[in-house]
Structure 1
Amino acid sequence: MHYQTGFLNHFATEAIEGALPERRNSPQIPPFGLYAEQFSTTAFTAPRAENRRSWLYRIRPTTAHGAFRPYQGAPHLRAADGMYTTPNRLRWDPLPMPEGAVDFIDGMVTYGGNGDPSESGIGIHLYAATASMDTRAFQNSDGEMLIVPQQGELHLITELGRMEVTPGFIALIPAGMRFRVELAGPSRGYICENFGAPFRLPDLGPIGANGLANPRDFETPVAWFEDRDEDFEIVQKFNGTLWTTTIDHSPFDVVAWHGNTAPCRYDLARFNVMGTVSFDHPDPSIFTVLTSPSDTPGTANCDFVIFPPRWMVAEDTFRPPWFHRNVMSEFMGLIHGVYDAKEGGGFAPGGASLHNQFNGHGPDAQSTRKAMEADLKPTKIDDTLAFMFESRAIIQTTQFAMTGNFLQSDYDACWEGFEKAKLP
């Protein structure tokens, strides 16, 4: 499978030679009788540097479908209403694999979120699935989807091409784009649904021109299509609820496209970690892969932050994340290994934690003692990959998250046993 590289580049790709019009985006008769369709994920009049749209040339237009009706599946894919939200620090065990055949749509479960699909905010979901989607597709009209696999390889079939996404990679699907998920086996992971400004690379400021995630390492698929005349179900998330309709052909019939709004994947191992080489622990913002800015400069609607393998060399410094209370709310997940601030156990791959704004958190007692007593030689933190969805607003939790039997009742205990400071 081939990819094009770069983030927000203007790509041009065709599955059949000659399918892309040469000079006009919407000629009177596109090549081979295809239909021209513009797919826009920003307003038409957005500044050129921020405008995202692609021209698709497809076998049939997307207008040919009947009325949508409420979808009865995915019972736990629901918005949080704040009824179950507390200031408590929360941690969850991993989702078990479902019994029987459950695909990606019906395997999604909402843990929390904030804001509103018509304005800004995020939704946070986990998924556990055992079956591939075949004759159906998912379309999220509320926001773009950042997919973080933790177990199992995903084969993502999108309108603009195919992507293979394994644990250690992420996938970003634009809002409104149809896709299906085929599995290579039981699969589990995390999803950040972004209602706000589209994810972009963060500014580097004093870091300069290089570092963190590089645009060239994001991979966008080349054109691919399937010409299948059979019934396909389209499940759409719209205004917080799910709807369904049926069409008589595959929705993945885009023969050629060009533009700069497209799905992409990124290998987190390519993230260029920055850190101190003298003293003090840098802020976690130094680990930001993607950001969705808000209307307040420097305060994100959502940051996607990772904690990958890296060297720790700071002298006379407490090296794990320091204790803090933060204006940002932090939802964490673990892809593999052990997170260096929770070496005492309880934070397992596939599990999650939530520290809402201004609630104190940090390393557990065991990790703290180990760090304070350590001989500070250069140390490689290896075989680990944790991440964080970080938002400026309180992350409201759902009924399932608070009562679904995966919430750990003893999470606060990890901060017991700290000795009182000895004052003179």
Structure 2
Amino acid sequence: MAAGSGTTASYRFALVALTSLFFMWGFITCLNDILVPHLKNVFSLNYTQSMLIQFCFFGAYFLVSLPAGAIVRRISYKGGIVLGLVIAAIGCSLFVPAATYRAYPLFLGALFVLASGITLLQVAANPYVTVLGPPDTAASRLTMTQAFNALGTTLAPMFGALLILGATAAAVADISLAQADALKAAEAAAVKAPYLGLAAAFLLLAALFAILKLPQVSDYDEVAPITESGSAWSHRHLVLGAVGIFLYVGAEVSIGSFLVNFLGEPGIAGMPEADAAHYVAYFWGGAMLGRFIGSAAMRYIDGGKALAFNAVAAMLLLLVTVFTSGNVAMWAVLAIGLFNSIMFPTIFSLALYGLGRFTSQGSGILCLAIVGGALLPVVQGALADAVGIQHAFLMPVLCYAYIAFYGLKGHRPT
């Protein structure tokens, strides 16, 4: 690995600092799982319309990832991180006018700006982690930092249940149903304070990263078992990995987006939204636990085999979710989070392996594939409207089947 003046100690410090970023974008991304049912009620949306929240958020990855890769190459990993944090703060601030005017398109626009900042963060931070140390342990490092991403996703549902869904319930408790306009205004306004707080947190992190002295590193250009001719697109395992990221993120976001509504189904748990939101933390908490375990275990276990095993387990749990009811279906869908845990970092690191000077370009391509989180939830939303929310969970089964293939064969460089 080529590095500037970086040392083992400085690498360790940089990794510690980067964990805060992984936590924040996990938190903000999972908060969408609370926004979906909340705005569904505020604007009286069907499932397909409510999934436009995820469409606009993850659609930013498709439009911004490749330009973000070029920006990172021009202004460095650190510069990309700072700029991404500032853009994310602007996106969070835009929730205030969106709530004030109670306009669903404004919410979608704010989510797009916010996600553009998160995309830039991902494009800069993910490959930065992979090059801060030996390439053979890149998957382990990325899994560890992703564990803190999962910590953010675990806490976000509880935060949203308390400050958004809970605040909504408290605000409307004394409002008569006849005062429909006041009721909708109170529901919409519930997002203002939480997102302003998040905007302040992003700006604080931007200031901290601007003054931090982080090691300067370059991509793996000494360890490149694959030819460096052409471009990142010429590497089959990267392209197949991008398909894997597309399907994984699409499956995970689809499942997470429907959890609150699914747990509210009479045949499953019949929970109020605020109570169901707390149970969503089990889904993301499983991902956090699995990533901490995986970061240690994957130093000794082949990443491809671990990926295939987890994908098959997720498929089986989804089938239980669809074809059973009550507590069995509820806990089956929540347990999928545990097996999702290593998938993103493992696919990401396997796909980037050996790209040499094309690592930044490859990272941009993989982040481009996160658009799966925009498209597949809309597909599942349409299925939910057509055949019911429970049977719509058959769609992610196909996603995990491909991921199992990638773990067994598709990740191997040619």
Q: TM-score range by the shorter chain?
A: under 0.3
Structure showing the higher helix proportion among its residues: 2
Structure showing the higher strand proportion among its residues: 1
Q: Per chain length, whose mean CA-contact separation is higher, i.e. which structure has more relative contact order (CA < 8 Å, sep 6+)? A: 2
Point out the structure with max Rg over C-alpha: 1
TM superposition score normalised by structure 1: 0.26
